[in-house]
Structure 1
Amino acid sequence: MSRNAGIELQELRTVSPRKQAYHCQQAHGGITGLISGFSDMKELFQKIADYYDFPVEEILFCTRNTHRVDMKSLIDSELYFDDFIFVHQKRGEERSGTDSVLGLTLTDNGNGYTFIKGIQKRSLIDQSKEIQIGDHIEKINDKSLVGLGHAEVVNYIKSIPTGNKLVMHLVEPLKTLDDVINCAMKRINGLLYDFIEIYDAELCEMRCSPTIISLLKLIRLYIHDNNHFLNPFTANKLYEITLGKKNPNELAAAVDSCELEYFGFTDDFLIELWGIVSDAKEGRLVAAGAGQDNAN
């Protein structure tokens, strides 16, 4: 179907809800759902929140066809019939920064949340690890910005007198698989063996989803048993290939026909990988993880 066969969400406020169903998944992992019956961004967010049974206020933004925090894939006013929706939620932790906001590009999700879309290179904020693309600006100097569009937030920032202290309270999205691996790998110059020694504490600190934790534990076991090194791109490639396959045979064929063949992954490893991702899609992984945690 043509990519031009899409809908402008902001222009559908006065027409009947959309009957087209879209596949949807939480960006940090979980079951795949079908979302329909919405005519604008607020209704889309509410439908997603109702399906996954969490407050709509937890949604920061949605991306099309990728689970990454990719502002080029941001869903703001248009959906195509074949788009796959990934919903990004609050991590539930606030961080504060006092850097100048010069060099930030802001946008909003159409439902009252403004977040950082871009950071100018070589700016003060570009050098800070405390402020990242995708972070929701919840407050500035104790003034709540929830409910405001990004233009209103920009105007408020400009109204603050030069030289006055500016404190931003930020809420970041839940981490995805590649976020976690990249974060640790940057600190240890690319050696996953070193990453293995610290990743348990890192995962606890980042409050990662059961899907990510299970995948990384599987990778750790494989490295110990087979004396291989994996970089974050390899791990993320495995994850993405698995998501798009219907059965373990398709997964094995896909791995054997791409650059991952070099690593010589065993059939047992691929079967375990398939099982973890399948359990996550069906919601079984969360329940199983909870049971194990209680048992321990």
Structure 2
Amino acid sequence: MSIAQDIALTPLQVETFINDGFIKIDNAFSSDLAQDCRNELWADLGLAQDRPETWTEPVVRIGWKSSPSFVAAANTPRLHAAYNTLVGEGLWLAPQGLGTFPIRFPSSKSAGDEGWHIDVSFGTENPDFMEWRANVLSSGRALLMLFLLSDVGPDDAPTLIRKGSHATIARELLPYGKAGATLRELSAEGYASTKDCEIALATGAAGTVYLCHPFLVHSAQPHHGTEPRFMAQPPLMPSMEFDPKLPPSPVQIAIRKACGLTI
């Protein structure tokens, strides 16, 4: 098998992305890169890896990181091939790093950030983040991505994912047109429209990446394990708006299928 064939997404993976709203890519980047990234993040945290008594907060957030290890992790050939397949060749911008990092520690305290939501993608200049917006064109975001920088098991605060919820959100965004809906409007009912979706856990070994549809409903949860969970949740940025003259990407096909539009 050629290297290109080895890293390409299969038709089944593309179909899964369209129907479920996400795919899991094992070994998207190396465990050595994951370790390098964790080492940098530990240094930023200023906490002792071998002294759990210093881990006093349930979550600590670190912003964007653009040092070489983070750039390399986001730009492996396997991931570039997946970006091309899901978004379209030339229609995304190569990540210049990773972030943000919600680093979760074992704790009996709530972090206060658990709750179902989507990641809105434009209007972020508004100081009221509840006025940030998303639209049916997914302006400002090509993918939601979850980079596992540490091993994440069921007890290690894996992100909760509502399978297929992206289709419901696409239908809800359609009437708002290009102007889109605010986070306040989208969350008014607590995403009750997606409550019956099957729940998946974003688990995996360090080096795993979940590539998700921008409209996928997801949630944080408390950490009941023993080791801190390191994850990055960056967007993949588009290079342009959807162009109707181009063949639709799987991201667009999922939206059109959900809204009953011609694919």
Name which one, 1 or 2, has greater alpha-carbon Rg: 1
Q: Give the number of the structure whose residues are more often helix, by fraction.
A: 1
Q: Give the number of the structure whose residues are more often strand, by fraction.
A: 1
TM-score by structure 2 length?
Answer: 0.25
TM-score by structure 1 length?
Answer: 0.23
Higher relative contact order (CA 8 A, sep 6+): 2
